[in-house]
């Protein structure tokens, strides 16, 4: 327990500690006193900041603090007990026992009227057996108005050691404080301190989580093109649907850019894992794809170059899947070729409504030196659309609190995605993305288990 200065009938007061001291009455305060006679520590900036950081000033009663105050009164047999927080001008009663009427409604006193400033000045506990007779406390202005015969208190401490206030008890009659009473009072004061500090730690953790989530989402957004480039004569749209409650950076990404001449490149990928390492690999993949796509017309060649870059990346123990599409507008639509590197195959929706996957399965990237990657040609006519997506779309499922129940709920799946795409009749690219997003949201109950990226390229109807 914290050290206690015990003053009472027949008791000897311990000698003054060494160091520079100043006095208020017969008490000695290590940090000196202010011009008004109060301990200088009362107005110390760090202490006041710690008090404010608790967020408890001017808050209502709470069972946790009320119970600890009541227990202190019961154990010591005192009529009154208080849990106080002391700022620069007042002693606020977070909890009080044995107080009623106007005093209870006021919930505190000025600093000058409180005994708590004694603990702030001393930095330790204090117990006085006969307040009115002892030279250290008899001049205190609250002795007679508050009918204080004996007083004992222990400091409530912040994590940095600042004295926030006290847990104290008041007996209307002089008494001798038993050592076990003071020991228990110290234990209860530590319980109050722990409760306050745990709340502060939890609030700080929540603030840090919110900051981390904002930074993570900002980093995630930086890995996605803010606005897709416009391909002449074609419609394009994309969306990124973050996982519900996601606070870490994930590896879903997409891009659309001009390469050379009339050729364009669309890419979509999914890096294994989350966090900063996944973000690094995502950035490496995106910028490698942009660089290599200007040198090669073959999507398979671009993916092979990306595979080499991933293998050469130091410390990389992750992999990614990707789909790379090279295309160019033609007089009657689009011609192009695409390569799958372990990624779900894109879907082509014909103007009449038929939907089918396109592409030959290939090896994921970043694991093997020898990869199987194949270019698959495709064409789009008036009204046709091409959909690129990450597995967050097909693996969407409603949220379930019970894991066993969740396991029994089927994922959205490839067939459902194809059916949803088929229903996008006469919708522009932006409408297709919006419609698919709404269907996924309805199925999952607005809860996404994984981030989902969608990218649509559509040839307008003739």
pLDDT of residue 448: 60
pLDDT of residue 271: 87
CA distances (Å), origin 390, targets 72, 253, 340, 352: 61, 9, 12, 25
Angle between helices 429-444 and 413-422 (to 10 degrees): 140
CATH 3.60.40.10 in the chain, residue ranges = 223-458
- Whether the pLDDT of residue 5 is over 60: the answer is no
Is the CATH number 3.30.450.40 carried by domain 4-204? Answer: yes
Q: List the end-to-end C-alpha distance of the chain, in Å, as a whole number.
A: 85
Give tens-digit pLDDT for 297-331.
999 999 999 999 999 886 556 789 999 999 999 99
Tell me the mean pLDDT in the region 107-124. 92
Give yes or no for a contact between 135 and 13, defined as CB atoms under 8 angstroms apart. no
Give tens-digit pLDDT for 11-31.
323 333 333 333 445 677 888
- Whether the pLDDT of residue 405 is over 70: the answer is no
Kindly indicate the confidence band of residue 191, based on its pLDDT and cuts at 50, 70 and 90: very high
| Most confidently modeled range among 112-126, 310-324, 349-363 | 349-363
d(CA 8, CA 12): 8
**Phi, psi (deg, nearest 5) at residue 34:** -90, 180
pLDDT of residue 101: 86
Coil/strand/helix, residue 451: coil
Give tens-digit pLDDT for 411-443.
899 999 999 999 999 999 999 999 999 998 888
Give 358's Cβ-side CA count (13 Å radius): 23
pLDDT of residue 6: 41
pLDDT of residue 83: 97
Closest CA to 260 of 338, 327, 330: 327
CATH 3.30.450.40 in the chain, residue ranges = 4-204
Coil/strand/helix, residue 49: helix
Of the two residues 444 and 80, the one the predictor is more confident about is 80
d(CA 95, CA 80): 11
- Whether the pLDDT of residue 34 is over 80: the answer is yes
Kindly indicate the confidence band of residue 337, based on its pLDDT and cuts at 50, 70 and 90: very high
Is the CATH number 3.60.40.10 carried by domain 223-458? Answer: yes
Whole-prediction pTM: 0.57
Sign of CA dihedral 293, 279, 238, 377: positive
Tell me the mean pLDDT in the region 86-100. 93
- Whether the pLDDT of residue 231 is over 80: the answer is yes
d(CA 411, CA 270): 19
Closest CA to 156 of 186, 121, 126: 186
> How do strand 333-341 and strand 320-330 relate by DSSP bridges?
antiparallel
pLDDT of residue 93: 95
């Amino acid at each position: 327990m914290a050290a206690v200065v015990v003053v009472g009938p027949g008791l000897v007061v311990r000698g003054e500690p060494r160091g520079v001291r100043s006095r208020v009455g017969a008490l000695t305060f290590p940090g000196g006193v202010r011009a008004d006679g109060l301990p200088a520590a009362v107005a110390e900036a760090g202490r006041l900041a710690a008090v404010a950081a608790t967020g408890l000033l001017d808050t209502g009663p709470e069972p946790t603090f009320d119970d600890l105050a009541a227990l202190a009164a019961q154990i010591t047999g005192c009529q009154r007990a208080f849990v106080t927080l002391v700022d620069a001008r007042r002693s606020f009663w977070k909890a009080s026992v044995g107080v009623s009427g106007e005093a209870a409604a006021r919930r505190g006193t000025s600093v000058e009227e409180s005994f708590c400033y004694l603990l702030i000045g001393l930095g330790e506990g204090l117990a006085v057996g006969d307040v009115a007779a002892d030279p250290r406390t008899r001049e205190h202005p609250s002795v007679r108005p508050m009918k204080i015969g004996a007083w004992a208190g222990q400091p409530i401490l912040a994590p940095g050691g600042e004295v926030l206030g006290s847990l104290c008890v008041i007996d209307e009659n002089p008494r001798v404080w038993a050592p076990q009473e003071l020991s228990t009072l110290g234990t209860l004061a530590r319980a109050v301190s722990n409760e306050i500090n745990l709340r502060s730690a939890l609030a700080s953790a929540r603030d840090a989580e919110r900051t981390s989530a904002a930074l993570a989402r900002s980093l995630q957004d930086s890995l996605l093109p803010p606005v897709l480039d416009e391909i002449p004569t074609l419609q394009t749209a994309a969306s990124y649907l973050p996982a519900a409650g996601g606070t870490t950076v994930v590896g879903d990404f997409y891009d659309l850019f001009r390469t050379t001449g009339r050729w364009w490149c669309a890419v979509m990928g999914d890096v294994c894992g989350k966090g900063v390492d996944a973000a690094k690999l995502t950035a490496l993949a995106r910028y490698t794809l942009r660089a290599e796509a200007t040198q090669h017309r073959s999507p398979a060649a671009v993916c092979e170059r990306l595979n080499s870059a991933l293998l050469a990346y130091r410390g990389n123990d992750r992999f990614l899947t990707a789909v790379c599409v090279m295309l160019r507008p033609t007089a009657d639509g689009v011609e192009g070729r695409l390569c799958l590197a372990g990624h779900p195959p894109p879907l082509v929706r014909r103007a009449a409504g038929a939907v089918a996957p396109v592409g030959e399965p290939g090896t994921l990237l970043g694991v093997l030196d020898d990869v199987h990657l194949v270019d698959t040609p495709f064409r789009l006519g008036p009204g046709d659309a091409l959909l690129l997506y990450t597995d967050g779309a097909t693996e969407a499922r409603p949220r379930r609190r019970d894991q066993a129940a969740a396991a029994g709920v089927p994922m959205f799946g490839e067939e459902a995605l194809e059916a949803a795409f088929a229903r996008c009749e006469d919708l522009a690219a932006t409408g297709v993305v919006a419609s698919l997003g709404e269907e996924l949201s309805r199925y999952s109950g607005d809860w996404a288990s994984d981030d989902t990226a969608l990218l649509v390229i559509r040839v307008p109807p003739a």
